[in-house]
Chain A
Amino acid sequence: MIGSSVSGNLPRTQELIAKTRAYDRAKLSDEELEAAYLEATRQVIEGQVKAGLTHVNDGLLRWQDLLRPFTLGLGGVELGPMARWFNNNTFYKVPIVKEPITYKGSVTEKLGYRKLLPKGATLKAVLPAPYTFAALSEDRHYADKAKLHAAYAEALNQEAKYLEKLGYGYIQLSDPALVYVTTKPAKKELKAYGKVLEVATAGLKAKTCLQTFFGDAGDILPEALGYPVSDLGFDLYETAPETLKGLKLKGGLSLGLIDARNSTIEDAGEITEAAKQILKTLKPKDVYVSTNCDADFLTWEKAEEKIKVLVRVAENLRRDA
């Protein structure tokens, strides 16, 4: 299949931003804030559905950062200081692992709006992958990366299974730290990471994708080809196309061809050509046209326009297939 989706969250609308700022200054009640979230979530879902994305999510508008639901919801983890989110002018709060990680029930359900999602499209969940969670955490308990990976992967697996039961058919594991210049692992560690992903994806029937961004996917190849996920996702604004030439893909490929870190609205024809060039030497089972990363670096207006381009590119590829 040739699908289309956003590789992560969506931006809060400007109206919701105004409401959250008012809430932060104690000028809005909890109920008013919730109403604003509902309204904005409806808007970003409708934007995806109307555009024709094959895979949709609820925008993850309530998530303060990718790790936060796990930081707050898992046993043994506490909220730490603020740190820069990779090479962006945005920040996250560091998870501090103080005790053994335990899963106490869904960490994302309360923050999500599952009921607002449409019935026709494939629902896409977005969760932080084990490498990224561990790389961005402060470990005061395990003192051993492998143990931390394993413990988190176990909890992640339970969350993924829970979401699968709720109807999510596609589970993206976001793993920017795996390819980012200052956090990526040594080459020799890459093979072992496959075992960690085995734990994270064990027993899932939903499709899974290890989505990398903010770094060059060439650094995890060819090892990542053997990872136990349905699809691999690459940021094509950080990865040179020649890196992907002739890759022996076992599953599908999510092509991060729409830049969610720049407001330029891409030309669908240009991006279609770029996709075709990449696919010339590859035979992925499925292809997904995607943003290169989370979309909350943009305004919703810009993200919505980009989603439309993304859908057109997927249509072009289908037409010319």
Chain B
Amino acid sequence: MAKLFETYEIGSLAKHSWRLKGFSGAKLTEADIAEAETWGKRLGLDYKPLIKLLKGDAPDKRQQVVNWSALYAVKMFEKLGLDYVYTGEQWREEMYAHVAKNVEGFEFTGWIKSFDYRYYRKAAVVGEVKYRDPYYIDEYEYIKPHAEAELKVPITGPYTMTDWSFNEYYWRKLGKVKSLKERKSRARRELMLDVVDNALRPEFEKLIAAGTKWIQIDEPALTTQPTAEEMSLFVEVWNRLVAGLECRFSLHNCYSDYGLLAKYAPDLKNCDQLSLEFANRDTKAPGRKRPAYDLIKSFEDHGYEGAYAPGFVHVHTDEIASPEVVRDRILCVADIAGAERVYVAPDCGLRTRTWEVAYENLENLVKGADLAREEVS
């Protein structure tokens, strides 16, 4: 019988100060070095070459620092006992910027307000989206021989890349369309399809040829435009993105309108599972009756047949859910969808938490899965 309640992380981890400074060329302090030593020891790594690297001036120092950082992430996940692991996105500046920087057609315009004094770098699509150089494959090829657990590769999806970018090129291309509303909508669709065909599929093919068995498509922007037209567009691009590719695909979406997504999820082809943020909506009270997770029923009612990885730990707080609460959350979803369709993951990437908090969070996630397994076996 296959293992029940397999565990994984979603993608991002915070970057240690030695990773940031080592990459940018800033001067490292003793505290930065000590952090590299502390975690190296904790993870059972021979970290001395890293310390030498950080203190030295090797010509390929930047890349080596990134490699080490990815290795630390993988080894942390493995030490915790996660079934599927990856690099904590240590290779990437950030999920959106990483793609925008590496694909032809995108150009950064500057910082745009997200809220209050928080901003994000937003790119404009100023030319046809074209594949330039590999941008996920090097990370995969580096980490593959170092990982003992199975790998799950998170990538940023076409809907999010489109929604988070200005669309100049495709807008201009459609200059003959008189209605501004129609022009905007058509330009959006054309951009999204080119991201699929010219940016993502070529990289997917390389990843799969290199041995990738599981690609997680991250679409945090999904349901931002809550209309039937937009959701149908998403289904169209998803199906185009995965068509004919032999790989396991899952969708990650968070802080979103799941009632809306539930209507369209059954139309997503080759979507092995949905990983969705849920713990954020739940209480910490014990017990298997948890109304926050009732929305899973909506996916069931609409006929979605894949598996679920509803978030079982919250990622935007330092408060750690106990293994017992995690267990109860897992069992609650198992009661709705059946234990064999439940995977165990956090709500989202843990990049906003310290490594210490991320560690404790994932530790309880794994313990909670163990407790749930005991309960149903």
Contacts and interface: CB of A to CB of B under 8 A. Distances in A.
A17 B119 contact: yes
A259 B184 contact: yes
A240 B182 CA distance: 8
B168 interface: yes
Contact of B224 (A14, A84, A298): A84
B164 A89 contact: yes
Contacts of B255: 84
Interface residues of A, number: 41
Given A64-B116, A90-B115, A263 B166 contact: yes
A257 to B, nearest CB: 7
Contacts, number: 90
A65 interface: yes
Contacts of B115: 64-65, 82, 90-93
Contacts of A24: 116-118
Contact of A237 (B120, B168, B184): B184
Please name the 6 residue pairs, one residue from A and one from B, whose CB atoms are nearest each other, closest first: A263-B166, A299-B110, A91-B115, A24-B117, A264-B168, A20-B117
A263 B168 CA distance: 7
A55 interface: no
B38 interface: no
Nearest to B227: A181
Contact of B110 (A23, A92, A296, A301): A301
Given A82-B115, A241-B180, 4 more contacts: A21-B119, A89-B120, A181-B227, A262-B171
A90 B113 contact: yes
12 contacts: A14-B110, A21-B119, A64-B115, A65-B115, A87-B225, A87-B226, A89-B120, A90-B115, A182-B226, A264-B168, A297-B112, A302-B109
A173 B327 CA distance: 50
Nearest to B114: A90
B253 to A, nearest CB: 13
Contacts of B114: 89-91
B102 to A, nearest CB: 20
Given A237-B180, A299-B112, A88 B224 contact: yes
A12 interface: yes
Contacts of B225: 87
Residue of B113, B164, B179 with highest tally of chain A CB at under 10 A = B113
A31 interface: no
A87 to B, nearest CB: 5
B80 interface: no
A262 B180 CA distance: 12
B117 A89 contact: no
Interface of A: 11-12, 14, 17, 20-21, 23-24, 64-65, 82, 84, 87-93, 181-182, 236-241, 257, 259, 262-264, 270, 274, 277, 296-299, 301-302
Contacts of A262: 166-168, 171, 184
Nearest to B111: A17
A243 to B, nearest CB: 9
Given A14-B110, A270-B175, A277-B178, A263 B164 contact: no
A305 to B, nearest CB: 11
Contact of B113 (A11, A259, A270, A277): A11
A302 B226 CA distance: 27
Given A87-B226, A270-B175, A302-B109, A264 B167 contact: yes
Contacts of B110: 14, 17, 299, 301
Contact of A11 (B112, B164, B168): B112
A197 B258 CA distance: 35
Contacts of B226: 87, 181-182
A303 to B, nearest CB: 11
Nearest to B185: A237
A296 B184 CA distance: 19
Nearest to B116: A64
Contacts of A92: 115
A299 B224 contact: no
A65 B179 CA distance: 30
B172 interface: yes
Contacts of A240: 179, 181-182
Nearest to A82: B115
B128 interface: no
A296 B181 contact: no
A92 B118 CA distance: 12
A238 B110 CA distance: 26
A274 B166 contact: no
Contacts of B221: 89
Given A17-B119, A89-B163, A299 B111 contact: yes
Nearest to B120: A89
A84 B184 CA distance: 22
A20 B111 CA distance: 12
